[in-house]
């Protein structure tokens, strides 16, 4: 797409957004040009919470499926649009509510903690949700001594480091973070010895072991802004670097692995956002009985401690 075509479609998107009283939300892993036109850029739950407070009629969520569902859970009175209907989260797809119910029957005394990177149906079968930044706080807030942690085993194992509770991790993972290797970190360190290594807790335990700092995407944003360091090696999906560079032009950021790209996150583009607004595609809804139960799990998390 030429710059002239891009400018034209951006103009049309902004016109439609105004006409429909819409808000555009972009996850940190979205393409740079989508982040640049979004009203808000951030992590999935934070964006949904932000949208729920706004006087908007339409939410255009540029992310993956569970994120649009979270917006629908928290904003049932708004139209939630997902530009690319096939943009699914592979990790969220690694658990079904039916399989979770079976596991709950095997461990009747355990609490179920669902990472927000899950479907509304799985959240509805869970006791409480968590984010990558408050997982430890949420788990430690529970009365139960045994926790079924779904669906990310890496985040579950990271949480296990900071709790005396027994965590039963689901055998799921983020395929993008999972492919970042310790060797990637060590090689980057050789090239950039002064850089601080900051990785996401969805990374493998052996990657976390060689990192300097482990943070959620929101935590990364706050940390690097306050840090006196000028160089950072970032271990998460490469889209995060666009935001970090944009907000911190005086600092240098290197991807831990240039291959850490989520193809599903990159499905959205400017054209699909335009079509979503023009043709009302694709409307995401959650059945009311499921929405209420899923919202309870999210509300319990917020009572235990806000995450980003």
Residue 307: pLDDT over 60: no
- Residue spans of the domains in the chain: they are 3-87+265-285, 92-173+289-304, 176-255
- Is 92-173+289-304 the same fold as 3-87+265-285? yes
Q: In CATH, what class is 3-87+265-285?
A: alpha beta
- What confidence score (pLDDT) does residue 51 get? 86
Rounded to whole angstroms, the Cα distance separating 43 from 58 reads 19
Rounded to whole angstroms, the Cα distance separating 234 from 257 reads 8
Q: pLDDT band at 3, cuts 50/70/90?
A: confident
Give the rounded percent of residues in the chain with a pLDDT score beyond 70. 99
Mean pLDDT over residues 217-227, rounded? Answer: 97
| Tokens read off for 133 | 């930044």
- What confidence score (pLDDT) does residue 258 get? 96
Packing angle of the helix pair 217-226, 239-247 (nearest 10 deg) = 30
pLDDT in tens, 254-284: 999 999 999 999 999 999 999 999 999 999 9
Rounded to whole angstroms, the Cα distance separating 81 from 207 reads 36
Q: Are 129 and 297 in contact (CB under 8 A)?
A: yes
- What confidence score (pLDDT) does residue 306 get? 52
| Tokens read off for 186 | 């060590």
Smallest CA-to-CA distance from 163 within 179, 130, 133, 139 is with 139
Rounded to whole angstroms, the Cα distance separating 57 from 230 reads 41
Residue 1: pLDDT over 80: no
Calculate the average pLDDT of the chain: 96
- What confidence score (pLDDT) does residue 308 get? 46
Rounded to whole angstroms, the Cα distance separating 74 from 93 reads 21
- CATH fold group of domain 176-255: Rossmann fold (3.40.50)
In this prediction the pTM is 0.95
pLDDT in tens, 73-111: 999 999 999 999 999 999 999 999 999 999 999 999 999
Rounded to whole angstroms, the Cα distance separating 286 from 196 reads 42
CATH of domain 92-173+289-304: 3.40.50.10800
């Amino acid at each position: 797409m030429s710059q002239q075509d891009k400018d034209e479609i951006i103009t049309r998107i902004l016109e439609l957004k105004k006409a429909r009283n819409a808000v555009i939300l972009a996850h940190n892993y979205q393409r740079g040009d989508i982040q640049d036109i979004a009203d808000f850029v951030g992590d999935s739950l934070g964006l949904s919470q932000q949208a729920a407070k706004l006087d908007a009629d339409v939410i255009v969520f540029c992310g993956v499926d569970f994120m649009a569902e979270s917006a629908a859970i928290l904003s049932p009175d708004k139209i939630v649009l997902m530009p690319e209907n096939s943009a699914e989260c592979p990790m969220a797809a690694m658990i079904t509510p039916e399989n979770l119910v079976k596991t709950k029957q095997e461990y009747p005394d355990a609490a179920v903690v669902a990472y927000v990177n899950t479907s509304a149906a799985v959240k509805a079968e869970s006791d409480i949700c968590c984010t990558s930044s408050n997982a430890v706080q949420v788990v430690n807030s529970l009365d139960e001594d045994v926790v079924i942690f779904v669906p990310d085993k890496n985040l579950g194992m990271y949480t296990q480091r900071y709790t005396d509770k027994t965590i039963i991790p689901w055998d799921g993972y983020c395929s993008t973070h999972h492919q970042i290797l310790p060797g990637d970190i060590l090689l980057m360190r050789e090239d950039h010895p002064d850089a601080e290594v900051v990785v996401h807790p969805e990374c493998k335990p052996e990657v976390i072991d060689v990192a300097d700092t482990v943070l959620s995407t929101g935590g990364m944003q706050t940390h690097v802004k306050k840090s006196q360091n000028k160089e950072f090696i970032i271990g998460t999906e490469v889209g995060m670097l666009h935001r970090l560079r944009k907000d911190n032009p005086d600092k240098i950021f290197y991807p831990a692995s240039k291959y850490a790209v989520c193809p599903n996150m990159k499905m959205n583009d400017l054209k699909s956002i335009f079509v979503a607004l023009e043709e009302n595609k694709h409307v995401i809804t959650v059945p009311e009985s499921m929405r209420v139960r899923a919202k309870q799990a999210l509300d319990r998390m917020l009572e235990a401690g806000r995450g980003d």
